[in-house]
Structure 1
Amino acid sequence: MKILSIQSAVAYGHVGNSAAVFPLQRIGVEVLPVYTVNFSNHTGYGSWRGPMVSPDDVRDIIIGIEERGVMGEIDVVLSGYQGGEGIADVILDAVSRVKAANPGALYACDPVMGNAKSGCFVAPAIPVLLRDRVVPAADIITPNQFELGFLTDTEPDTMESTLEAVDRVRATGPRVVLVTSVERPDREDDTIEMLAVDETGAWIVQTPLLPMKANGSGDVTAALFTAHYRRTGDAADAVARTASSVFDLLERTYLSGDRELQLIQSQESYAHPRMQFQARRVR
């Protein structure tokens, strides 16, 4: 499997491609990383150095890849955080080029906007751009519950309302939806869930909720779920494997006391997930 991953990169720590690439490689995926920024560290620190890569330069890199004659070998285009409006056109153009060469390729979009605790942390134009142009072009999307609400102009919280919101966003284009950070009022205390939905059904996985914030964990989640789903077409297996791997990564990070993901130290959790969490069919 080959994945063209168009995301940010940092030298210190693990977000964007710096979070997604290694776990994908560890499960046997060939990754073609294209950087949209090249920062010293993620912006959550409040200060950073390094350049944003202009949309024209990102496009040039993708065209250079195309000139190597490998577009037909790419199985998935993966995108995450979009720092500026211009990068969306570049990503959609890349998807078009890949699908022209390989009609069976998929586009997986993590529509990063914000979360329930922090609200939106992207430029005001980005959520609208994602909703109106990018998400409808995707085959797979991986929003958190907050982002799902914006995409559908709803406030999903219960199982029923979350499934209704998923159906609404699937009607715009994506056929596979992974909802992360699902928090239902009737869930068990100190737990959090992931919900995966495709045309065959809907499955939920519940894990303990760790008292931490981990930048980059969503990037790992989107990458692993996308790869597992592309490989098997089995949403239940993909979400169970992803949840098992990501929980072990987060638990190791929490116990380390380090702010950054223990990405390398957790590599066996990607290659050989313990499968300690099983997916339960909810529809």
Structure 2
Amino acid sequence: MRGILSIQSHVTYGHAGNGCAVFPMQRMGHEVWAINTVQFSNHTQHPQGWTGQAHDAKQIAEMFEGLSKLNVLSQIKGIVTGYLGGASHCDVIADIVSEVRRHNPDCLYFCDPVMGAPDKGCIVSEGVAELLVSKLLPMADVIVPNQFELSQFIGEPISSLEEAERACTIAREKGPKMVLAKHLHSVSDEAFTMMLATPDGNYLAQRPHLSFDRQPVGVGDLITSVFAAGYLNGATAVEAFEHCNNAVYGILKATHDKAEWELQTIAAQNEFISPSDVFKLKTL
């Protein structure tokens, strides 16, 4: 039984981290083995606050050790990582990726380097951003940063489409085979913009902005999981990217239409299989 190992945060209520990523990958046909880096009652943007705690690196390592004893590491076809609760998490993730690759050299690592955003600054614990840049991002096959995170990786600001293309080129030279820049806010005020940079070329995906009173949380986690699921299903990177853009828009549109804040991944789950809207990519 082959599966995807997903290591990121989890919330009991709503959809963020593994609480957002696991179901879409399952709905798209994958077994998913989840390890939670934190366990919160809900995501941290709720004004009522939240309860829970970050798991320490030892707990993550112990969970992985349990998988290893089942002799299933060779069956892990992809690893997806997201929010990490501390710098020690980065070290244990690096060890996990290396060990899985020892058993299955074809395993692909999709790294969502959660650091923050321009309006929030760096939102992770001390040392996490530095280790993401120096250790995890170079190990990854595919990285899925937002504009802020991509600029942190390359050490340069990004303020235009041309600079975004250059940033993706620099990032790929540091190790990753592909870069999916999941929100290039400087490129367009009218459209939500993403870019996929591959060895064969760069591609732009755009979809309408939807106006929310409160912006949904977990969209980045959703983008990473849907792209990874599509690519691991055998789609080309370009096909998986276009499908991801369309499917995520479908989830957001359903969330908007229902006037909800939490992503409607369950109610609109058919979007993961057959998106209602299709936005074609542009080749750069």
Q: Using structure 2 for the length normalisation, give the TM-score.
A: 0.95
- Structure 1: unaligned runs, 5 residues or longer: none
Conserved? CA contact 2:37–2:83, under 8 Å:
no
Conserved? CA contact 1:107–1:139, under 8 Å:
yes
* 1:254 and 2:263 matched: no
CA shift at 1:25, angstroms?
0.5
Match of 2:110 among 108, 111, 131: 108
- Equivalent position SS for 2:262: coil
Residues in 2 aligned to 1:200 and 1:232: alpha-carbon distance in whole angstroms: 17
- Output aligned runs, 1:130-141, within 5 Å: 130-141=132-143
Match of 1:234 among 225, 233, 236: 236
Aligned residue type for 2:210: L
CA shift at 1:56, angstroms?
0.4
CA shift at 1:204, angstroms?
0.7
Conserved? CA contact 2:55–2:85, under 8 Å:
no
- Output aligned runs, 1:26-105, within 5 Å: 26-46=27-47, 47-105=49-107
Residues 198-224 of structure 1, C-alpha deviations (whole Å, 9 max, x = no match) = 111111111001123111111010011
Aligned CA distance change for structure 1 residues 161 and 25 (closer, same or farther; 3 Å):
same
* 1:196 and 2:196 matched: yes
- Equivalent position SS for 2:54: coil
CA shift at 1:275, angstroms?
5.4
- Output the aligned Cα RMSD: 1.4
- Structure 2: unaligned runs, 5 residues or longer: none
- Equivalent position SS for 2:7: strand
Conserved? CA contact 2:90–2:128, under 8 Å:
no
Residues 33-72 of structure 1, C-alpha deviations (whole Å, 9 max, x = no match) = 0111111111112521123222101100101001101100
Residues in 2 aligned to 1:205 and 1:53: alpha-carbon distance in whole angstroms: 36
CA shift at 1:257, angstroms?
1.6
- Equivalent position SS for 1:182: coil
CA shift at 1:190, angstroms?
2.1
Matched length: 280
- Output aligned runs, 1:122-133, within 5 Å: 122-133=124-135
CA shift at 1:132, angstroms?
0.8
- Equivalent position SS for 1:148: helix
Match of 1:153 among 133, 152, 155: 155
Residues in 1 aligned to 2:230 and 2:203: alpha-carbon distance in whole angstroms: 15
Conserved? CA contact 1:131–1:151, under 8 Å:
yes
The residue number in structure 1 matching 2:273 is 271
Conserved? CA contact 2:179–2:198, under 8 Å:
yes
- Structure 1 runs of 4+ aligned residues shifted over 6 Å read none
Conserved? CA contact 2:18–2:34, under 8 Å:
yes
Residues in 1 aligned to 2:174 and 2:211: alpha-carbon distance in whole angstroms: 35
Conserved? CA contact 1:194–1:239, under 8 Å:
no
Conserved? CA contact 2:181–2:194, under 8 Å:
yes
